[in-house]
Structure 1
Amino acid sequence: MPDNSTVNKKSSVVKDETIIKIENLTKRFGKVAAVDDINLEIKRGEFFALLGPSGCGKTTLLRMIAGFEVPTEGKIFLDGVDVSNIPPNKRPVNTVFQSYAVFPHLSVFDNVAYGLQFDNVSKSEQRERVMAALEDVKLEHLAERKPDQMSGGQRQRVALARALVKRPKVLLLDEPLSALDAKLREAMRFELTELQDRVGVTFIMVTHDQDEALAMACRCAVMDRGRLMQLATPSTLYEFPANKFVADFIGSVNMFEGKLILDEPDKAIVEVEELGGKVFFDHGVLGAEGGQIFVGIRPEKIELIKRTKDMKKPQMEDSPEDCNVFAGVIDNISYLGSESIYEITLENGRRMQVSRPNLSRWDQEDFTFNDEVWLGFHGDSPVLLQN
C-alpha cells in the first residue's frame, strides 16, 4: 500500500516542509463537537482539500484557520507561529468565499485593489500588484469592466485575484466552484490547479464534491462528524480506503459483510453470505480468522460475462475455482455516455453495481436487460474494510 505522503502530480512547488500544523484542535458549539481533536500538517505549496458531507466540520476547521472561529481546545501553527488566538486581519491568509462577494459598483481593477488601499500601499505599487494579480488569473484585458458584465467564472477569478494581491502565505477556498454550472465547474478545476501551480501559494479548499477534490488536490483530509477519517492522496483514498465511511463516500462501492476464513501472508479468503460464495484476496489481510469484516469492490473492477444454460462457471485466472465469480441477472442499465452502469441482481437477491466504459459507439449493446451474466473480479480488486 502506498504511503500518505504528498504525491506531487499537480504542483511543482510543493516542498517537504510544513506551513500549517494543527494540534488536537477541537471546536464545540454547546455540547456538539463540530471539530473533534484534529491533528494534521499541510505542506508549503500544496493544494490541500478538506472533504466530507454537510455538517462534517470541514468549514468550521477552515474558519478556525482563517481566524473567524476561535478553537475550544488545541492550537494552529502557521509557518511556525501559533495563530490560534490571532485575529483574521493579522494572519497571512486570505479567503475566497462561495459567493465571491465582489463589489458590483467597482471595476475589476478597483475590486482587486480594494484591500491594498488599507495597507498604505502606494498608488504605483497598487497598480503593479493589481495588474500582476489580474495577469495571474488571465483578466488583465478586463481591468476596467464591471462585475455584472462578466460571467460567473470571470467573477470567481476576480475574487481570486483580490485574495492573491495581498500575497498571502495560504489561500483558503470555501466551496469555490459550487455557484457555477457543471460545464464551467469542470473547466474551472483546471484553471484553479494551473493558477495554484503558477503562483506557488498553499491552497486549502473546502468541498463536499469528491470529484472536485480528487481532480484538484495533492492530498485530501476526509472528515465525518468532526473527526478526521483518512488523510491521503486521491489515489490512496480511492484504492485503499481506511474504513467503510471513506470507501462509501469516495466513489461507488459494492460492500458486503463477511467472515475471514483464511489469512496467510500471500492470500486471504472471506466467506460472504450476501454473495453466496467466497472472495479471494491475493494478499494477506492481517485479520482474526473467524472474525466479521467488510469487503468492498469498486464497480469498474468487475467483469461481465454472458451466461448460457450449458456454460460452466468461469474461473478468474488468479483466484481459486470457487472464488470471485457469481451469477446474476441484469435488471437495469444507465447509459452515461462514456460509461454504462449495470444494476445486477444475484441469485440470492442481493444487488450489485458494475460499470463498463463505452469504448465504441456500439458498446452499450453488448449487454441488455434480463441478460444472465457472470460477475468476476481479480484477487487484487477487493479491499478489506473496518467500521
Structure 2
Amino acid sequence: MTQPAAKPVIIEFRNITKRFGPVVAVDNVSLAITEGEFFALLGPSGCGKTTLLRMLAGFETPTSGQILIDGKDITREPPNKRPVNMVFQNYAVFPHLSVRHNIEYGLKMEGVGADERRDRAEAALSLVQLEGYGERMPDQLSGGQRQRVALARAIVKRPRVLLLDEPLSALDAKLREELRFEMSALQDKLGITFVMVTHDQDEALALASRCAVMHKGSLMQVATPADLYEFPATRLVADFIGSVNLFEGRVLAEEADHAEIELPELGIKAWLDHGTGSSETLQIWLALRPEKVELHKRSNGEGPPTLEGTPAGYNVVKGTILDIAYLGSESVFDIRLEAPEGREPKRIRVIRPNLTRWDQEDFTWDENVWVGWHAEGAHVLLA
C-alpha cells in the first residue's frame, strides 16, 4: 500500500522577525503551512501570533525575513496584491449595505459583472447557511449570522488563503461551539488553506489540523492537536494546552520499554510503560492530565490498589478530597495529596466522566482516597 503524496507547501515564513522599537514581537520564526490545512496560531496575549498573521496579510512589514505564498516572495507586496482574504474579530460588516451587497463588495471593486457577482454571492450565502438573507441589513442579524456574512464575503473572492483573526471570540459559548463545526465543514468543502489566530485552546484543538504554540514571539511547538495535548514538548506547552498536573521527579531507571521515576514531592515512585529518552538521575517533570488520573476508595487497613499494566506499589498515592465541581458531563476533584515528612502537601486535579446519573455520588468532600494512574498515562518533560 502506497503512502498518500505529501501536500505542497503554500505558505512559508523564513526567519521572520518583527520589532516595534525595542520590543521584539516576532523573533526569528520559520514555519511552513501546507495546502488545504486548517492551521492555528495559538498562544496568550502578546505572544506574537496576531503580528505574524498581520504580516501574512500585508498589514505589517517584517523587520527581517521573508514570507512566501506558492513559492513567490510577497514580503513587500501590498495587501490587495496578495492571494489572501481576512475575517476580522469584529466582523467589519458594512452597516449601510445589505447582506448581499456586503458579500459582493470585494467583487465589485475587482470589476466583476453584476450577474456573476449575484451568482457568486448566492453560492457563498448557501455555503454559510444563510440562503434567503441576501436583502437583510446587518442590524437585522444576530452575532452568529453577521460572522457568517463576514465569512461569505471572504470566501466569495476565492482566495488561496483565508486568514481568521479570533473569528469566534465575540460570540457566546454555545454559538461558538456550533460555528466551530460549521467552519470545519466549510473549510473541508472549499479546500482553502485557513490560518487562524486564537488564544482559545479548545477552539484550536477542535478546528485545526495543526497548531503552532507561540510564547514571547517564538515558536514553542508545532504539532497536531492530539500530539500537542498528549506529547507537549515543554512545561509551558503542557500548561497552556488544557489542564495538567506537574510533579518534579528524577529518572531512576531507563529502558526502551519502561522507565522508573522518583517523585520526592509525593514520596512515591512512578512507572512508565515506555522509555523517556533521558539519562538516569536526570531531573524531569511528570505531566498528568486530570482525566488520566483515577480515584479509588480508601478503607482503613487496606493497601493501595494495583493498577492494570502497572507493577504493584507504583503510581499510587494517598489523598483527601478538598473540593468537587459538578459540570454535568464530568466532575472535577481537587485533592490534597499526602506528603513526605518535611514537605508541603501537593494538590492534584482529577476529572471523572459522569457515565450514569449517580456517578457524582461515588465520592464526597473530605473523603480519604487513593489517587492513581496507569503506566501509559503520564508524560515526561525535560524542560
TM-score normalized by the length of structure 1: 0.95
Letter in 1 for 2:288: I
Counterpart in 2 of 1:56?
47
- Which residue in 1 is equivalent to 2:224? 233
Q: How does 1:72-91 map to 2 (within 5 A)?
A: 72-91=63-82
SS in 2 for 1:98: coil
Aligned residue type for 2:367: D
1:5 corresponds to which residue?
none
Letter in 2 for 1:365: E
Please state if 1:179 is matched with 2:170: yes
The structural deviation recorded for 1:337 is 0.5
* Contact 2:334 2:350 (8 Å CA) reproduced: yes
Please list, as runs of the form range in 1=range in 2, the aligned pairs for 1:234-313 lying within 5 A after superposition: 234-313=225-304
Structure 1 stretch 120-129 or stretch 106-115: which is displaced more? 120-129
CA distance in 1, matches of 2:293, 2:126: 47
Q: CA deviation at 1:31?
A: 2.1
Aligned equivalents of 1:103 and 1:92: distance in 2?
22
Which structure 2 segments of 5+ residues have no match? 340-344
The structural deviation recorded for 1:197 is 1.2
Q: CA deviation at 1:126?
A: 1.3
Query: Displacement, 1:15?
Result: 6.3
Between the aligned partners of 1:375 and 1:115, the Cα distance in structure 2 is: 59
Partner of 2:361: 365
| Equivalent AA in structure 2 for residue 129 of structure 1 | R
Q: Distance in 2 between matches of 1:69 and 1:276?
A: 53
CA contact (8 A) 2:283 2:382 kept: no
- Kindly report structure 1 stretches of 4+ aligned residues shifted beyond 4 Å: none
Work out the CA distance in 1 between the residues paired with 2:275 and 2:32.
Answer: 31
> What SS is found at the alignment partner of 1:142?
coil
Determine which of 188, 196, 204 is the counterpart of 2:187: 196
Bigger CA drift: 14-23 or 147-156?
A: 14-23
Match of 2:102 among 102, 111, 115: 111
> What is aligned with 1:154?
145
**How far, CA to CA, are the matches of 1:313 and 1:205 in structure 2?**
47
Q: 1:381 corresponds to which residue?
A: 377
Structure 1: stretches of 5+ with no match in the other structure: 1-7, 9-13
Q: What is the rounded CA distance, in whole Å, between the counterparts of 1:294 and 1:253 in structure 2?
A: 11
Contact 1:325-1:376 within 8 A present in 2 as well: yes
Deviation at 1:293, TM superposition (A): 0.8
**1:276, CA displacement in angstroms?**
1.5
2:131 matched residue in structure 1 = 140
* Amino acid of the structure 1 residue aligned with 2:243: S
What letter is aligned with 1:322?
A: G
- Note the aligned Cα RMSD (angstroms): 1.3
Deviation at 1:43, TM superposition (A): 1.2
Distance 1:293 1:30 in 2: 38
Structure 1 contact 256–296 (Cα < 8 Å) conserved: yes
- Listed as ranges, the matches of 1:9-88 within 5 Å are 16-88=7-79
User: Partner of 1:11 in structure 2?
Assistant: none
Q: How many residues align?
A: 375
- The amino acid that maps onto 1:172 is L
Does 1:166 find its partner at 2:157? yes
Contact map agreement 2:17 2:29 (CA 8 A) in 1:
yes
Counterpart CA distance in 2 for 1:32 and 1:158 is: 36
Task: Tell me the alpha carbon deviations over residues 200-224 of structure 1, each in whole angstroms, 9 at most, x when there is no partner.
Answer: 1111110000000000111111111
Give the share of equivalent positions with the same residue, in percent.
61
- The yes-or-no answer on 1:224 pairing with 2:220 is no
Q: SS of the counterpart of 1:140?
A: coil
TM-score normalised to the size of structure 2? 0.96
Task: Give the secondary-structure state (helix, strand or coil) at the position aligned to 1:161.
Answer: helix
- In the TM superposition, residue 288 of structure 1 has moved relative to its aligned partner by 2.1
Describe the superposition over 1:309-354 as per-residue Cα deviations: whole angstroms up to 9, x where unpaired.
Answer: 1111222232232310101011100101100000111111111111
User: CA separation in 1, counterparts of 2:274 and 2:22?
Assistant: 44
Partner residue in 1 for 2:342? none
CA distance in 2, matches of 1:95, 1:312: 60
**Native 8 Å contact 1:15 1:45 kept in 2:** no
* Partners of 1:58 and 1:206 within 8 A in 2: yes
Q: What amino acid is aligned across from residue 47 of structure 1 in structure 2?
A: F
SS in structure 2 of the partner of residue 198 of structure 1: helix
